[in-house]
């Protein structure tokens, strides 16, 4: 990212993970974050969203390289991984040190500004109203779909509808992507509705299909059985191959022995 932006003389830019859906003109959102070095997502543990200057990216890279020269830091990580073998050194761990030591000026991307925000993650509630999917046994934010193609979440404190500029779809099924993308096309056909005129009780909100999930479970169960059958057949084949191989070598050795004796 740094090499690309430097090569093309790009000093400020936006960056998102590929599971974030964008429903706004990002250029019109930059005024909110120009006084900060960068915005953050992942509960403040990653540089994501708007980056106002290239120096903050260069500093981040330098800090990562610097951490690999610190024996004490690396030894602490090695000891930590012995206790938690699934842990690993990531860019998030480096970012926490970078913020602490360099005092960069940051802001959470999901701060509510001018009645709108960038969704932190549909699977993480915070101040927003949640919805419980009984079949899947998961909670996700209640995402209201306005007739003009925009999306809103309902904030409990203060109580009001908040417009979503982006939606973080981490861990959401592909069905949810399809529904949101289809609804968003209305933005190109209808005039934007003022948020004050929206009544959440009259709005549809994102719900996932029961039929699709049941079909997925059946498909997954069927595939599991197919895989189990394949493994059984594979094991049987492997045992037979080893058995035949042992017989072959046994006969070969026996033939060599007979030739030697004769």
> Which ranges of 8-90 would DSSP assign to H, the alpha helix?
54-67, 71-83
- Tokens 């197919």, residue? 226
Confidence band (pLDDT; 50, 70, 90) for 147? Answer: very high
Point out the domain boundary residue: 54, 82, 108. Answer: 108
Q: Which pLDDT score, from 0 to 100, does residue 236 have?
A: 65
Residues 11 and 92 in one domain: yes
Please tell me the distance from the alpha carbon of residue 1 to that of residue 51, in angstroms, as a whole number.
11
Point out the domain boundary residue: 108, 135, 153. Answer: 108
Q: How many CB atoms lie within 10 A of CB 117?
A: 21
Residues 100 and 40 in one domain: yes
Residue 23 placed within a domain? no
Read off the pLDDT of residues 166-201 as tens digits, 9 standing for 90 and up: 999 998 888 899 999 999 999 999 899 998 888 888
The total domain count for the chain is 3
Residue 28 placed within a domain? no
Please tell me the distance from the alpha carbon of residue 149 to that of residue 193, in angstroms, as a whole number.
9
Residues 202 and 214 in one domain: no
Residue 24 placed within a domain? no
Confidence band (pLDDT; 50, 70, 90) for 163? Answer: very high
C-alpha 258: how far from its chain's center? 67
Residues 42 and 79 in one domain: yes
Residues 147 and 129 in one domain: yes
Residue 127 placed within a domain? yes
Please tell me the distance from the alpha carbon of residue 136 to that of residue 226, in angstroms, as a whole number.
24
Bridge partners, 153 (sequence order): 143, 162
Q: Which pLDDT score, from 0 to 100, does residue 134 have?
A: 83
Asked if residues 92 and 42 have their Cβ atoms less than 8 Å apart, the reply is yes
* Whole-number percent of the chain with pLDDT over 70: 81
Residue 65 placed within a domain? yes
Point out the domain boundary residue: 57, 84, 108. Answer: 108
Q: Which pLDDT score, from 0 to 100, does residue 142 have?
A: 93
Bridge partners, 38 (sequence order): 51, 106
**Domain boundaries, position 223:** 210-262
pLDDT surpassing 70 at residue 33? yes
Please tell me the distance from the alpha carbon of residue 11 to that of residue 57, in angstroms, as a whole number.
10
Give the long-range contacts of residues 101-106, CB within 8 A, separation 24 or more: 101/63, 102/59, 102/63, 104/37, 104/38, 104/56, 104/59, 105/35, 105/36, 105/37, 106/36, 106/37, 106/38, 106/39, 106/40, 106/44, 106/47
Residues 101 and 121 in one domain: no
Asked if residues 52 and 202 have their Cβ atoms less than 8 Å apart, the reply is no
Tell me the HSE value of 82 on the side-chain side, using a 13 A CA sphere. 5
In sequence order, the 6+-apart residues with CB closer than 8 A to the CB of 166 are 16, 20, 21, 22, 23, 24, 118, 119
């Amino acid at each position: 990212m740094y090499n690309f932006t430097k090569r093309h003389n790009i000093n400020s830019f936006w960056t998102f993970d590929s599971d974030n859906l964008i429903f706004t003109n990002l250029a019109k959102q930059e005024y909110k974050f120009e006084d900060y070095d960068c915005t953050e997502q992942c509960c403040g543990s990653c540089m994501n969203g708007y980056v106002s200057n290239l120096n903050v990216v260069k500093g981040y890279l330098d800090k990562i390289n610097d951490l690999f020269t610190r024996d004490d830091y690396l030894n602490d990580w090695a000891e930590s991984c012995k206790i938690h073998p699934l842990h690993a050194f990531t860019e998030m761990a480096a970012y926490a040190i970078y913020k602490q030591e360099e005092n960069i000026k940051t802001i959470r991307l999901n701060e509510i500004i001018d009645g709108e925000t960038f969704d932190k993650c549909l699977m993480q509630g915070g101040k927003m109203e949640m919805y419980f999917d009984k079949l899947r046994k998961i909670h996700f934010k209640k995402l209201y779909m306005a007739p003009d193609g925009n999306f809103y979440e309902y904030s409990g404190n203060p109580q009001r509808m908040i417009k979503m500029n982006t939606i973080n779809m981490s861990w959401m099924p592909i069905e949810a992507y399809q529904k949101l993308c289809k609804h968003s096309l209305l933005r190109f056909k209808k005039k934007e509705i003022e948020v004050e005129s929206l009544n959440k009780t009259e709005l549809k909100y994102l719900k996932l299909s029961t039929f699709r999930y049941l079909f997925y479970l059946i498909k997954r169960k069927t595939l599991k059985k197919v895989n189990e059958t394949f493994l059984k057949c594979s094991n049987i084949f492997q045992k037979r191959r080893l058995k035949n191989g042992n017989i072959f070598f046994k006969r070969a050795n026996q033939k060599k022995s007979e030739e030697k004796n004769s």
